[in-house]
Every structure is written in C-alpha cells, then in structure tokens.
Structure 1
Amino acid sequence: MTVAEVRNLTVSVAGRELVADVSFALAAGEITALVGESGSGKTTTALALLGEAPVTTGQVEVAGAIVDAEHPPARGVVGYVPQHPSAALNPVRRIGPVLRELGRLYVDRNQVRERTLDALTQAQLPDGEKFLGRYPHQLSGGQQQRVVLAHELIGRPQLLIADEPTTGQDAQIRRLLAEELRAVAGQGIAVLLLTHDLELVRMLADQILVMHRGKVVEAGPEVLALPRHEYTRRLVAAQRIVPSPAPPASGVPVVSVRDLVAGHRRVDTLHQVSLTIEAGDQLAVVGRSGSGKTTLARCIAGLHPYRSGELRLGSAVLSPLLRRRTREQLARIQYVHQDTRASFNEFVPVLDQVARTAERLRGLSTADARREALASLERLGIREDVATRLPRSLSGGELQRSALVRAVIAEPDLLICDEITSGLDTVTQAELLDVLRDLQRTTDCALMVITHDLSVVAGITHRVLIVDDGRIVEQGLTAEVLADPGHAATRALVTASGLIEEEPLDRTG
C-alpha cells in the first residue's frame, strides 16, 4: 500500500532551484533511503512531505491527502526526526514530562505510561526516572537524537522521516537503531531514511534514491552494489579511507590531564581520567554514546567545569572556565563542535564569524582576517556567495567545513574535533579528512578526535583511547587496538563496526 507519493516535485527559493522534477512513492512496511552529498536536496524533499517546503511545481500526497504549505499532514500522520536534535528539544524542560505530555495527545491517561515506555524502548533509551529527569543539555548528542526519535514514535505515525538518525551514534547503538527501524517498518509504517551512512543503507533499505544537485540520478534496490551513475560510483569510492602514517614522537606535551573528575549535577560522568597529548599527536577518543567522551573534550576546551583534578597547557595550569583563560590559551586550544549549527551565531554571516577568530585571537587587521578567512573557506569548497550568507542558509556539510576553518585559522596547538564527520556524505567526509591530514603534515598541531566511526579512527589517528562509563579502559596504537581489542567494551565497538565478523542484520523484519 502506498502511504506517500511525490510527483514531479520542484522547489525553488529566491530563484535558486533546490529540487528539480523529483518523483517517488513510499510504501507501507518499506524503508526507502534518500542518499546524496550535503546540499543535494534530501532534506528539502523531506520537508515537502511535511508541507514545509515551497513547492514550485508538482504534487505531494500523504495518506491520501494533498500536502502543501497551507495543508500540512494531520497530527500524528508523519513523524520527523531532524538531523540536529538540539533544535527540536526544549532546553528548559525535562525529558520525561515532555514525553508523557506527547503521549496524552494520542492515548487515554491510563495508557500514557505504556506508550511512553514503548517509545523509549524502540529508541534504545533507558526508562528510569534518573534519565527521564534530565534536561537536553545533560544528554550526549546521540542520546538527544534518540529522544527525538522517541518523541515521534509515541504518535505511531504512518510515515516516519529519519534525517541522519545515526549521526553521533556509536556502532552498537547504530546497529540497534537499525534493528528498531526495521521493526518500525515491520509494523506497517513507511520509513524515509535520509542519510550519508552507506553501511546503514546497505543494512536496511528496500529502495535507494541517489540525489545530486536536486535531482534523482539513480534509483533501485541495488544501486550501491552495482552503481551505474558516475556520482554514485564516487560516493561509494569515497568510503575507502586510507590509513594515516604514524607521526614521529615529539615528547613535547601540549595538554596534560591528571585525575579529572567531572559530571552533571550530582552524577559523575568522568572518573579519575589522566592522559597526555603531545605536539603532533593524532589521538582518537572512542566509546559508546554517553560514555563521557564529549565531557572530557569539553573540559579540556574550558566548556565544562570539572569537580577535581588538573589541566595543564604546556607547563601552565589551565582554568576550568573558558572566560578565565588568556587570549593565547584560547587560541592554542580550538574546538569543532558536533552540532555545528548551534555553534554559529544565526544572525551573523559565516565569513564574518570565521574572520573574527583570526582578528581576535591572532591580532590580524579586519581586512587581512577577512581575506585569509575567505581564502581558507574557498579551499574547502565554500564560495564567497555561500560564505557571506547567514548560517541557516548553508547545508550541514557546508557549516561543518566552515566550523573547521574557523578553528584552524586560529593556528591552534590542539584541535579537538567532536564527531565532525557524522552526518556528512562520504565525499565531503573524505575532503574533510584530507584537510586534517594536510594540517598534520604541515604543522605540529595535535589532533584529538572524538568519534564513533572506527574507519575515521583508522584513517587519521595513530593512538586511541577507549572510554567506557567515564573511565579509560584501553589505550594504545590505533592499528593494534582495533586489530586485537583487549577490553570487552572495545571488542563490542569493533564488532558492531564490522571490523570483527558477526551475524548479519535480519532484514526480514
């Protein structure tokens, strides 16, 4: 049974064609994957199914009704999980009351608890009061993503649109979410999956649509296995990440962490963590979602206060608070956030924000800072006409590259990258990794990569720390740890990533 149909859809904004002549149907019980590079038109197409895109020509039908800006789908018919979950969560409301309030829109009061627990289970989230009592900022990026998924599953929609649902998820959670999406489809729900994760597509998709520059260039169930279009072949080829050569040991400490304890409210998420990062180091910090990786990175960057322990930059003790650090210290440690959209001021053009970093932290004149910022952005494919726009006008991939330029232009001694490849298509991801490799070749900048993607770990890092439940449980050379994991947590991550064989995902539902 067809749940939704898009016929000859064209969407234009300010004279710019974002989607051109796109047609497809979504069937109950099937998962359709929409694949393509950042800015290819995937999200715009999905928004048309919600009545939130300005349809220029063509028609969108959902559950037998024509959908447009004046006639959105009825409540509960379509569920939408956005790529950036923090924008969909109320920062001043706890998770539990919001979920229960949503449940009351669909079921009787005495059924709300059961419906809420079902949604939490489907989204691979705990149902204890400790978790439900948290605010969004007390959750990891992966947990925020799953909370939004739970929001939408409470309504039991006929169509679920999942925009990069595995962004920021570790391999174990990614596999569990894949199983749950298959189970959702097994309940007769049509699923539209917008993703750059080609492995997820291979695991789940019944049908695959490849989009490039607003058009569907290839479609079918096996287009990744037998790509015919040049663009599809390029997407598949970009998955192959070449390992980075090991850097020579410098012996010069950049950042030292000693017995660090940190957490949220009364709950510790880091326990007595110690590590040293040397000049030129290539360090990956890996662990499941919520293990404490980002808390560690944010403590080093001065974005999260710690309870006890010590941080040093070179020989100087670092204040736990960003506002108490010197301008030199701010420049020497730069942080690229997982949610890059939230890290930009939405009212200031991207170019101005990048240039301000060079002006403020390096003392460049306004003109020189702007000139260098533009040249650096253009090297990563961000043209001047794009760079001079407000952040909301850029795609996720364009913002991610801009955020990297904003950090690198400060000429840091330590660059912290928090899930910077999550949510990027394989081509853009490969370009970003090339930039990081070039940075490693030409400077002594140390690199600290927070990631769930073990292929990225193997491609750009030499050393790896495995974090589980707020503790470093294993560390060593990347190649050795991934080839022969010694701790159970490491082995689970490596197995779920497919680097150690396991049983294939059951696609029969």
Structure 2
Amino acid sequence: MRRIGPVLEEMARRHLGAGTRSERRRSARERVLDALRRAQLPAEQQFLRRYPHQLSGGQQQRVVLAQALVCRPRVVVADEPTTGQDALTRAQVVEELRILTAQGIAVLLLTHDLDVVRSLAEQVLVMRDGRIVESGCAGQVLGAPEHEYTQRLVESQLSAEPSEQDGGGEEASRALVGVHGLDAGHRRTTTLENVSLEIAEGERVALVGRSGSGKTTLARCIAGLHPARSGNIRLDGVDLPSRLRKRTREQLARIQYVFQDARASFNEFVPVLDQVARTAELLRGVQRPSAHAEALEMLARVGLAESTVRRRPAALSGGELQRAALVRALLSGPDLLICDEITSGLDTATQAGIVELLAELQQGAGCALLLITHDFGVVAHLAGRVAVIDQGRIVEQGAAAAVLTSPEHAATRALVAATAGAGEDAAGATLGRTRG
C-alpha cells in the first residue's frame, strides 16, 4: 500500500542520531541511496515512487535487502536473499554480503542455493524437521557430506549442462499462442517494448533474463493479468482480450498460471482441496462432488494424501503447496501452462522433484509450457527452446542446447558466463576451505 522510497526513508530516520529536521532528512536520503546502490537497485526517483507489486520478484527481494542495509546493522539475517535472482544479480548480492562480513558485520544466511553457500559461508548447519543434522566448515559439509539428507541435497543439485530431452513440440508447426508487437508497463514506466513470441502446441519454452527485464510482465499479459498498451495476443489465431475479466470461460481455462509464491496464491482460510477442486467447477462446469473426486485423484498422483490436502495452506510445506498449485492449474485442462519461478526458494531435492513432476504432468496433459526462471539448471532439464529478454525486448531465441552452449547476444553471454562462474567460484571456494 506504500511506495518504496517513503518506507526506506522512514526506516532510515528511525536509526539516525540528533540533528535538525533538514539534516535528518538529508542524512536519511543519503542512507537510502547508499542502501539501494549496495542492494543493486536503481536510485532514480521514478523507481522510488513505485509500489511493491510493480516490481519483479527479484527486485522485491533486493528491496528487502535494502531495508536491512539502510539501518546500518551489526548482524544481518539474510533469509533467501538470492531467491528469484538472475545469475549476475545473485553474484552481486553475494559480493555485497561478502563486503559486509569484511566490514565486521556478521551474516546469518538462510538459503537453499548451495552455490551461494559454497561462495559465501564459512560454517554450515544443515537442518531437517527442526533439527540440526550436520554442521561444520563449508568445504567439509558440502564436499564430503556425512548425513544422508545432506548427501541427497548435494546430489540433487541440477546441472546447467543441456540434457538429452525432446523439449516438447519442437517440430510442431502450428502456433498455439502468438504475441505480436506487445508494449506494456506500469504507469509511466515501459516494461515491454515491441515484443513478439510464438509458442507451438506442446512446446516447452523457457523465458530467461535479468531480474526486472520484463519476463513476468510478458507472462501476465499472456494470461490476461496485466493489460497491454499496444500489440496483440492470439490463441489459435483468435485475438485475446487484454484484460482477464473480458475473456470467456473457455479462454480462461486454456491458459493457466502457476505463481512464484505458491503460498500467497492460496486463500489461507480455505482447505487446499476445496481451492484445487474449484478450478474444475468454475472453468469446466464439473459438479462439486465430481470435482473433489477428480482433484483427490490427481493430488494423490503427485504424492499429496487426502489427509494433507483437507488442511489449510499453513499446514503444508512450500513444496507441497507448489504441487497443489500445479494440480489446480491442470484441472482446467489448459493448452498453455505458465510457470513463474516455481522452483525458487525450494531445497535442491524438492526442486529436482518439482522439475521431474512438471515434465511428467506437462507431457501427460499434452499442453505447452512457458517457463520463467533464472535457474539454468531447470532450463537445461525442461526447455526445448529459450527466449532471452533484456530491458523489455526479446534479444535472442533458439534451441535450449544452442543458447546455453553458444549464446550470441551480449546479455545472454553474460548470464551464461555468470552461471558457469558461480559453479567454478563455488568449487574453488569449497576446495580452498577443504585444504584449509
């Protein structure tokens, strides 16, 4: 409900010493600009006037980091600070945290990203079910894990090397969804400019790019969740209304969206089963008893027992809610499934399970998949084709193997290099600590 700038300035003023009103205002402003710079965020007034919902998930995460930095802390508890970040931004955030430790600030890092742990942490504690199951120096714990759970986490980490998979629909000739000359933005800010993209029936397309480049805005435009300023979106050659409420029930059913924050996409007061089954009721006209039976059958297929899904969302883990969200979307019988960073914030074992499950469900449903992700490991294991977006424009498209191994555009090369560099730096850090 509040703009970013005033919130940061209010926090800064609460941590200032004595002084005149103008001095405190100037000092607060300086603190805010410094915190934005250190969190890798733009310091322009236009950015400070935006609301949180007008930011990408990665930008929101960095605003949270800026909120901590503006207070000039002695200890920073960083809870998943790199979730939803592209490889370049992730490396910058890690470097900023490293600088904080060099300045004598202690950092307690809570994360699922093992490369970040290898790059930054000195000591590691591995937790499961509320207990510490293994601890020690980073090189020892991640280089030669002893506990079965730690071993599973390390072994489940997805590689960014292209895998042998069909990609789904690569040979299809008919376009299911066509985006042509799309412009979109927030108020006076342009987020997308003259974007064109086609997705064939059954095809798996990954949309990658830096945080804030426009990936989620494009996906939300396709789903009718964000209005376009110009251009058109077609489904089977028929123009789709820009706004969700103007689309028919059939059009709503054919394009489904799975959100980055699965927990926030569920009503906290209603049992998960009721919310999942509601999709079949509303979009396919299935009667409630049949919808519940169909939902229970599909939820069981993804490993969610009836006793689990009859609870409210708070009683389920993030991985369980993500599986329930996938089932909820697929119950409409969609032709296009849009998955927005659905593996971010999950541990490596759960992430690998979600990737495998998504491939199985997508293939079984026969729908196309638009995958928004910063994780090139997920891209390598799921996508047949990749589209790279940079500053609101699609700058490169091609087969996933070609883009990941021989990128052509400078933005793509930077992302691929940063991903490769993270693995190399992490391996070097682990080796160095092991020798130490």
TM-score normalised per structure 1: 0.79
1:6-405 maps to which residues of 2 (within 5 A)? 92-108=1-17, 109=24, 110-221=26-137, 222-240=140-158, 242-248=163-169, 249-405=171-327
Superposition RMSD in Å: 1.9
The one-letter code sitting in structure 1 at the alignment partner of 2:13 is R
Contact residue 336 and residue 418 of structure 1 kept, 8 A: yes
Q: Distance in 1 between matches of 2:321 and 2:65?
A: 24
Q: CA deviation at 1:394?
A: 2.5
The one-letter code sitting in structure 2 at the alignment partner of 1:233 is Q
Change (3 A) 1:229 1:143: same
Change (3 A) 1:246 1:144: closer
Q: Distance in 2 between matches of 1:458 and 1:214?
A: 33
Change (3 A) 1:368 1:450: same
How many residue pairs match? The answer is 417
User: Once structures 1 and 2 are overlaid, which stretch shifts more, 360-369 or 350-359?
Assistant: 360-369
Q: Distance in 1 between matches of 2:42 and 2:407?
A: 27
Q: Are positions 1:442 and 2:364 aligned together?
A: yes
Q: Distance in 1 between matches of 2:327 and 2:82?
A: 25
Q: CA deviation at 1:193?
A: 1.3
| 3-state DSSP of counterpart to 2:401 | helix
Q: Distance in 2 between matches of 1:436 and 1:503?
A: 30
Q: Distance in 1 between matches of 2:112 and 2:69?
A: 22
Cα deviation per residue 1:294-345 (whole Å; 9 max; x = unaligned)?
Answer: 0000000000000111111112210011111111111110001112222212
Contact residue 179 and residue 198 of structure 2 kept, 8 A: yes
User: Once structures 1 and 2 are overlaid, which stretch shifts more, 149-158 or 379-388?
Assistant: 379-388
Q: Distance in 2 between matches of 1:459 and 1:277?
A: 18
| 3-state DSSP of counterpart to 1:260 | strand
Contact residue 181 and residue 231 of structure 2 kept, 8 A: yes
Query: Which residue of structure 1 lines up, in the alignment, with residue 395 of structure 2?
Result: 473
Q: CA deviation at 1:503?
A: 6.6
Q: Distance in 2 between matches of 1:195 and 1:314?
A: 42
Contact residue 330 and residue 365 of structure 2 kept, 8 A: no
Change (3 A) 1:503 1:224: closer
Shift >6 Å, 4+ stretches: 499-508
Q: CA deviation at 1:143?
A: 0.5
Q: Distance in 2 between matches of 1:112 and 1:134?
A: 19
Identify which of structures 1 and 2 has the higher relative contact order when contacts are C-alpha pairs closer than 8 Å and 6+ apart. Answer: 2
Q: Distance in 1 between matches of 2:259 and 2:348?
A: 19
Change (3 A) 1:319 1:345: same
Change (3 A) 1:185 1:476: same
User: Once structures 1 and 2 are overlaid, which stretch shifts more, 143-152 or 388-397?
Assistant: 388-397
Q: CA deviation at 1:232?
A: 1.1
Q: CA deviation at 1:501?
A: 8.4
Higher strand share: 1
Q: Distance in 1 between matches of 2:176 and 2:247?
A: 16
Q: CA deviation at 1:502?
A: 7.2
| 3-state DSSP of counterpart to 1:244 | coil
The one-letter code sitting in structure 2 at the alignment partner of 1:489 is A
Q: CA deviation at 1:185?
A: 1.9
Q: CA deviation at 1:505?
A: 10
Contact residue 495 and residue 501 of structure 1 kept, 8 A: no
Cα deviation per residue 1:207-235 (whole Å; 9 max; x = unaligned)?
Answer: 11111222111111121110111111111
Q: Distance in 2 between matches of 1:393 and 1:188?
A: 39
The one-letter code sitting in structure 2 at the alignment partner of 1:454 is F
Q: Distance in 2 between matches of 1:190 and 1:480?
A: 42
Q: Distance in 2 between matches of 1:455 and 1:323?
A: 36
The one-letter code sitting in structure 1 at the alignment partner of 2:331 is I
Higher helix share: 2
Query: Which residue of structure 2 lines up, in the alignment, with residue 41 of structure 1?
Result: none
Q: Are positions 1:428 and 2:350 aligned together?
A: yes
Contact residue 183 and residue 194 of structure 2 kept, 8 A: yes
TM-score normalised per structure 2: 0.91
| 3-state DSSP of counterpart to 2:269 | coil
Query: Which residue of structure 2 lines up, in the alignment, with residue 38 of structure 1?
Result: none
Q: Distance in 1 between matches of 2:290 and 2:79?
A: 39
| 3-state DSSP of counterpart to 1:472 | strand
Query: Which residue of structure 1 lines up, in the alignment, with residue 20 of structure 2?
Result: none
Contact residue 494 and residue 500 of structure 1 kept, 8 A: no
Contact residue 349 and residue 390 of structure 1 kept, 8 A: yes
Unpaired runs of at least 5, structure 1: 1-91
Cα deviation per residue 1:64-117 (whole Å; 9 max; x = unaligned)?
Answer: xxxxxxxxxxxxxxxxxxxxxxxxxxxx21111110110000114142122212
Contact residue 118 and residue 426 of structure 2 kept, 8 A: no
| Identical counterparts, % of pairs | 60
